[in-house]
Structure 1
């Protein structure tokens, strides 16, 4: 952890929670794996109470679950979870993206272009984790322009779950370039100011991404309900 002023403003428990999230997304920690307070405290050289606070943060984000007398585990999402996420993302993002069109100014377009340019670099490097982080940045930025504070708040609360679902998608896209191209097309649709094109692009993107994950869920050991 690099000691810069912005990072050091965060409590230690939050820094550890952030690092655990990255380890889960990098598949260094597996879905369904048990997280032992003692081992984590030793690994990070902190007290068990600090680890407990970090795990409570992850639990509030629904990335881990605590079971009485059994311990704490990384959440193992079900097909129902994925179905619900598809439906919710489609509802929120199709509406938010179309509403963002009227609020999209030149400096917003430049910001989004910069994100897409970063995605091109990550695609060239075949860096899937970097691409997925930028995917979240791109979608969150556009949703943030929709003008509906409640939609923005709900979407923010879903960030960790959405990012966790994305972690398996590298095995379903033909290439990093294909993933980058989808976001380039999303940006082009926004700039076109055509509500129908934007709505179609958003729905196609979510349905492809999420149904690929759902359709192959048995391969990644998601549970049936």
Structure 2
């Protein structure tokens, strides 16, 4: 089934929810911004009930918040949200990637190579949004091969939150090239079939982000953890 067929099968409310997500990720709609049903219904030429359904989808995904007598707003993405996503990614992806190693065959490596090739093209175009979409595609592909249905289900439920988290990263990477290079190194680690190398590479990939976002290096982090104890 091709992508167009899948899109045609989606309810209208889901299609609108997807477009609103994309506008948030593209920073066309800002965190904390109020979303008015009447304006959105006019923009998308649909009924207000369809817009309400779309906003309900986004509310379930924790991308918007509805407040009685106040309206619906795009949820703020706080420092705590960033911390929690980093922690979750470390826990889930380090385990999933390790388990996926022995399940990867030549077809899987060709698919992952194709994703990294697409990333290389987006590096040349300096397109962060497409790079982040491909990042999600790369990581989800490997997680889905871990053989643990519950890990896969939990990771799938976090997709929107993780993608929203990624939109913060463009200001922390030195270049589009460095972002691509990390994924090339991840692929090389997987190809080595060495679980320890894969685990270290995944954690380094995520901890690099943690250091940039939180301003805490590995040494500082250890000292802070000692103080907390």
Q: TM-score, normalised by structure 2?
A: 0.90
1:180 aligns with 2:172: no
Q: How does 1:119-134 map to 2 (within 5 A)?
A: 119-134=119-134
Deviations 1:134-186 (A, max 9, x none): 00000000000000000000000111011001112111111101000000000
Corresponding residue SS for 1:100: helix
Count of matched residue pairs: 214
**Residue in 1 aligned with 2:190?**
190
Corresponding residue SS for 1:96: helix
**Residue in 2 aligned with 1:208?**
208
Shift of 1:130: 0.4
Q: 2:17, 2:55 within 8 Å by CA — same for their partners in 1?
A: yes
CA RMSD of aligned residues (A): 1.4
Corresponding residue SS for 1:73: strand
Shift of 1:113: 0.4
| Cα distance in structure 2, aligned partners of 1:214 and 1:72 | 30
Which has the bigger relative contact order, CA under 8 A and spacing at least 6? 1
Change (3 A) 1:156 1:211: farther
- Structure 1, unaligned runs of 5 or more: 217-225
| Cα distance in structure 2, aligned partners of 1:124 and 1:146 | 32
| Cα distance in structure 2, aligned partners of 1:164 and 1:19 | 14
Q: How does 1:1-225 map to 2 (within 5 A)?
A: 4-215=4-215
Shift of 1:9: 0.9
Shift of 1:8: 1.4
Shift of 1:4: 4.1
Shift of 1:211: 4.0
Deviations 1:46-80 (A, max 9, x none): 10000000001111111111111111111102222
- Structure 2, unaligned runs of 5 or more: 217-229
Stretches (4+) displaced over 6 A = none
Q: TM-score, normalised by structure 1?
A: 0.92
